[in-house]
């Protein structure tokens, strides 16, 4: 069955058809590494991961490129504002490169904690300055850009398609509404490809003198290098639609004369307690904030991915708690299947019954994901599947089949499966003592040991098939 994806470019669902059979070329706008990533950032990155997983579930081989923005980006106007890297560097009394490295490391760590599959490559902007310069030269050569005072600007009037992604009619944009229009620009909406500012800490040599790249050029340069001039999918947060992605299109299509991206996908910003997340409102959470409160990374992953990516997910600590419980149920279910700890092989269902449960679930799950990643409906299929499975008495083969099915769903859900590991001898000894006590009907002693074990993070469950334990 084909998968349908919502394409911002045409504002509707389209059947996904890759450029090359069975392969997907995808670029995700990644982090700007100047501060701790927050839950909103990771809604976007987790969407990219889920999309990639979903495409792999569908059988595609995905090449995934996620950029690391480690340069530039002024907070205000180009010659006056503060650079994020520099500001962070001053705040933390470090070199801008150290800042970038520190937050890149943190980003990679969190990516792992949240069980994101590693992208094929994480190219850094600062390692592709030459590619950017070449691209800018190409744009100048083709008449799309002009040089003024050691800087280069893109001449927006040369690219009639400007505005096609965002739907912003050029003549309606309020140029200068938020920032002053730079006097060197021919048109108010022209944007910088290469900037000149002697005060800037990070400088590179260029044909136009020392300077640094504009914000948008890195994605055009790096996507072309790793994916080609035309590729399948480009993702980002909804705020990237304009101006960032609009400018990328102008740059890439201006330089290549070819279509840049076939499918543009954008993630809606999340809300916290039904309001925009902001530091001043006190509802601003970094990923580390959440984990430090004791929530599991998988609970966070589940919550951030379980709402459709184009809906305004409302993040609350209460719903994060609910997510944690739901994840626990999913993982417990899988563990029981793996241990074949479901009810006794007594009146086992036929293979046909099991097939029916599996086929229903897979059909419902896949149909949901095919519909522009309707994850909520897909998860409903998983929970229905789990309930049906829990009712069955299973033998080894049945358990294995259900386990394989769960793991197929988990290709998309991305829950980290921890190996149970072994118990240390002290714990094993306690468990033996408890079993002995129970055998002797000394329930007081048995319950005391059970409580002791719980305080050590080991939960004991007595089932008709015997005792089982799990770590919490």
Partner RNA sequence: GGCGGUGUAGCCAAGCGGUAAGGCAACGGUUUGCAAAACCGUGUAUCUCCGGUUCGAAUCCGGACGCCGCCUCCA
Angle at 192 (CA atoms; ends 186, 196), nearest 5 degrees: 105
Identity of the residue, 7 or 166, whose beta carbon is nearer to RNA in the bound complex: 166
Of the candidate residues 319, 360, 367, 433, the single one contacting RNA (CB under 7 A): 319
Of 67-75, 201-209, 393-401, 422-430, the segment contacting RNA by CB under 7 A is 67-75
Instruction: Tell me the per-residue interface mask from 320 to 359 with RNA, x by CB under 7 A, - otherwise.
Output: -xxx-xx--x--xx--x-----------------------
- List 190, 197, 232, 370, residue binding RNA (CB under 7 A): 190
Q: Least distance from C-beta 321 to RNA, angstroms?
A: 6
How many CB atoms sit inside 10 A of residue 193's CB?
A: 29
> In angstroms, rounded to a whole number, what is the distance separating the alpha carbons of residues 342 and 461?
13
Residue 173 in the binding site for RNA (CB under 7 A): yes
Q: What residues contact residue 92 under an 8 Å CB cut-off, 6+ apart?
A: 99
Among positions 90, 138, 268, 288, the unique one binding RNA when judged by CB under 7 A: 268
Of residues 108 through 147, those in contact with RNA by CB under 7 A are: none
Sorted by sequence, the CB contacts under 8 Å of residue 84 that are 6+ apart come out as 32, 34, 35, 72, 73, 74, 75
By CB under 7 A, name the one of 18, 236, 254, 297 that touches RNA: 236
Is 169 among the residues that bind RNA (CB under 7 A)? yes
Write the binding mask 433 to 452 for RNA: x where contact by CB under 7 A, - elsewhere. -----x----x--xx--x--
Cα 448 → chain centroid = 44
Cα–Cα distance measured from residue 190 to residue 96, given in angstroms and rounded to the nearest whole number: 28
Query: By the 8 A CB rule, do 260 and 248 touch?
Result: yes
- Of 391, 434, 389, 436, which Cα lies nearest the Cα of 409? 389
Is position 167 an interface residue for RNA (rule: CB under 7 A)?
Answer: yes
Residues of span 388-417 touching RNA by CB under 7 A: 390-391
The reply to whether 73 sits near RNA by the rule CB under 7 A is yes
> Apex CA 140: angle with CA 135 and CA 146, to 5°?
125
Minimum distance from residue 446 beta carbon to RNA (Å): 5
Q: Which is nearer to RNA, 18 or 302 (CB)?
A: 302
Tell me which stretch binds RNA (CB under 7 A): 96-104, 253-261, 286-294, 455-463.
Answer: 455-463
Phi then psi dihedrals of residue 467, to 5 deg: -80, 140
């Amino acid at each position: 069955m084909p998968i349908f994806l919502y394409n911002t470019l045409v504002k509707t669902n389209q059947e996904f058809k890759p450029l090359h059979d069975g392969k997907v070329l995808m670029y995700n706008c990644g982090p700007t590494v100047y501060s701790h990533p927050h839950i909103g950032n990771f809604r976007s990155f987790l969407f990219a991961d889920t999309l990639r997983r979903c495409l792999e579930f569908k059988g595609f081989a995905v090449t995934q490129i996620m950029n690391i923005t480690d340069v530039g980006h002024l907070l205000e106007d180009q010659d006056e504002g503060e650079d994020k890297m520099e500001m962070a560097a001053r705040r933390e009394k470090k070199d801008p490169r150290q800042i970038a490295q520190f937050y890149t490391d943190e980003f990679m760590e969190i990516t792992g904690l949240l069980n994101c599959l590693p992208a094929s490559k994480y190219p850094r902007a600062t390692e592709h300055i030459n590619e950017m310069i070449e691209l800018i030269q190409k744009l100048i050569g083709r008449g799309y850009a002009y040089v003024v005072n050691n800087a280069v600007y893109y001449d927006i009037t040369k690219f009639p398609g400007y505005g096609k992604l965002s739907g912003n009619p050029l003549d309606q944009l309020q140029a200068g509404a938020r920032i002053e229009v730079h006097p060197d620009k021919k048109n108010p909406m022209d944007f910088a490809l290469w900037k000149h500012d002697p005060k800037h800490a990070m400088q590179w040599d260029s044909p136009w003198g020392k300077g640094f790249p504009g914000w948008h050029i890195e994605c055009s340069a790096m996507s072309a290098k790793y994916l080609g001039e035309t590729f399948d999918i480009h993702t980002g947060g909804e705020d990237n639609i304009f101006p960032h992605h609009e400018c990328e299109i102008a740059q890439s299509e201006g330089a290549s004369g070819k279509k840049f991206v076939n499918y543009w996908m954008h993630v809606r910003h999340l809300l916290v307690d039904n309001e925009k997340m902001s530091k001043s409102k006190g509802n601003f959470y970094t990923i580390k904030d959440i984990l430090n409160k004791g929530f599991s990374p998988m609970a966070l992953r589940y919550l951030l991915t379980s709402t459709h990516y184009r809906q305004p997910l409302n993040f609350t600590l209460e719903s994060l708690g609910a997510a944690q419980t739901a994840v626990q149920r999913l993982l417990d279910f899988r563990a029981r299947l793996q241990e074949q700890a479901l009810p006794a092989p007594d009146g086992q269902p036929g293979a046909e019954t099991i097939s029916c449960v599996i086929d229903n679930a897979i059909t419902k799950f896949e149909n949901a994901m095919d519909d522009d990643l309707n994850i909520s409906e897909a998860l409903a299929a998983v929970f229905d599947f789990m309930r049906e499975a829990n009712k069955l008495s299973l033998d080894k083969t049945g358990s294995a089949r259900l386990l394989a099915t769960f793991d197929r769903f988990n290709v998309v859900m991305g829950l980290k499966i921890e190996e149970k590991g072994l118990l240390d001898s002290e714990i094993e000894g306690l468990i033996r003592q408890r079993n002995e006590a129970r055998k002797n009907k000394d329930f007081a002693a048995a319950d005391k040991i059970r409580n002791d074990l719980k305080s050590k993070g080991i939960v004991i469950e007595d089932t008709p098939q015997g005792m089982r334990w799990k770590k919490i």
